[in-house]
Amino acid sequence: MKIAVITPLFTLAGVPLAQMRFARALSKAGHEVEFLIGNIEDKYDIPNNNDFKIINLNFTKVRNSLFTLAKYIYTKKPHVIFTAEDHLNIFVILAAILTRSKVKISASSRVTPFDTYSNKVFTKGWFLKIMMNAVMWRSDVLTCVSIDMVEQYKSIFKKSRHICIYNIIIDDISTKKIKEPIKHDWIDDKKYPLLIAAGRLAPWKGFEYLIQAIKILSEKIQVRLIILGDGPLREKLQKLINELNLNDYISLLGYVENPLKYFSKADIFVLSSTVEGLPNVLVESMMCGCTPVATDCPTGPREVTQNGRYGYLVPMKNSLELAYGIHKAIKKPISKEELLFAITEFSEFNVINKHFEALNIKYENWN
């Protein structure tokens, strides 16, 4: 079966990496897969890949993508398209309508609709809502990456047919990455419990609350925290670390190509966000054996930890509660066996099966 997997922008972030992982899994299942990229962020290169064909469509703005997408659908005639992110989903569906293609379309939403759509007249979100309402009938399947997001979409769109299908997190490549060697003083000489956090250094990730939580925690127990990732708040966060005299206990390590090998050496993973779609990084850390401590933000952490059964949930924007949650996780960690059991729904086999069931494609016709 000929399948196209599309992402609007390739960068080393959640959505494009999840789409690439999905494309690789489909290829491994025996399909002819093309991975379509709207554009590539200047400072990044696409990783070496022999599993599927990669096509750069070269549109800088999604709103300029309609002709390019229509041409691809008309000439390449894929059997199925898996597209992600609502602004791109709209134009992929519209392109299929204009070309009168019979291609099956599965459109995935990755962030809360409250950040995408608006009722305020003549805003970008208002136009997007009108467009999605007009074209969503043509999508064979509309998916969200969390159950909570499904309910959010139903509250915004009366015609919503959204269902939850998770991203693939557990696959062979990830398992290999976990085992890669690592050199870091805090890991080589592990004097204290090691905490790890990861994500873009941006306001919604709540890293300032995590840094303050480490200061509170230091009055009872010493720990070390490594934060992986880069972003606009790096200077501000480093300044806060300096002011709290935490340089011996918190390290802003920046971007790393393989965070999984760091997760595998840590005891606790901390997610301090104020909003998420479905935090892939939380699932990845659990796959690596980290006990999760996460804010109970919309959406995802409560779902992934199964109401706190497989992790510690704390209120958002509360450094004291975050420190308390970390302390509890250190005192009573969750076993790796339990964590792996909790995330079985994120395996490539389960995710692909759910997608094809939703598309009403019989398994014997996959290849």
Strand, helix or coil for residue 186: helix
The pair of structure tokens assigned to 249 is: 């206990």
Q: How far apart are the first and last CA of the chain?
A: 6
pLDDT of residue 363: 52
Cα dihedral 299, 231, 39, 124 sign = positive
Encoded tokens for 232:
């606009």
pTM listed for this prediction: 0.85
CB proximity list for 145: less than 8 A, separation 6 or greater? 108, 109, 110, 164, 165, 166, 167, 277, 278, 300
Instruction: Calculate mean pLDDT across residues 179-196.
Output: 93
Q: What does the pLDDT average to over 342-355?
A: 94
pLDDT for 49 beyond 90: no
What number is the average pLDDT over the span 248-269?
A: 96
What rounded mean pLDDT belongs to the chain? 93
- CA atoms of 360 and 351, how far apart (whole Å): 14
Cα distances (angstroms) measured from residue 348 to each of 24, 48, 141, 279: 10, 21, 19, 17
Domains 2-168+347-365 and 176-344 share a fold: yes
pLDDT tens across 283-300, in order? Answer: 999 999 999 999 999 889
- Lowest-confidence range among 11-15, 48-52, 214-218? 11-15
Domain ranges of the chain: 2-168+347-365, 176-344
The CB-based long-range contact list for 305-311 (8 Å cut-off, 24+ gap) reads 305/342, 306/342, 309/342, 310/286, 310/334, 310/338, 310/339, 310/342, 311/286
> What CATH architecture applies to the domain 2-168+347-365?
3-Layer(aba) Sandwich (3.40)
Inform me whether the pLDDT recorded for 232 exceeds 50.
yes
pLDDT (tens digit per residue) in 144-173:
999 999 999 999 999 899 999 999 999 988
For position 189, what pLDDT does the model report? 85
In this prediction, residues 56-84 reach a mean pLDDT of: 95
Of 73, 35, 71, 41, which Cα lies nearest the Cα of 55?
35
> Is 17 a residue whose pLDDT tops 90?
no
DSSP string computed for 124-181:
HHHHHHHHHHHHGGG-SEEEESSHHHHHHHHHH-TT---EE-PPP-B-HHHHHHHTS-
| CATH code for the domain defined by 176-344 | 3.40.50.2000
Structure tokens at 17: 């990496």
User: Mean pLDDT, to the nearest integer, of 201-226?
Assistant: 96
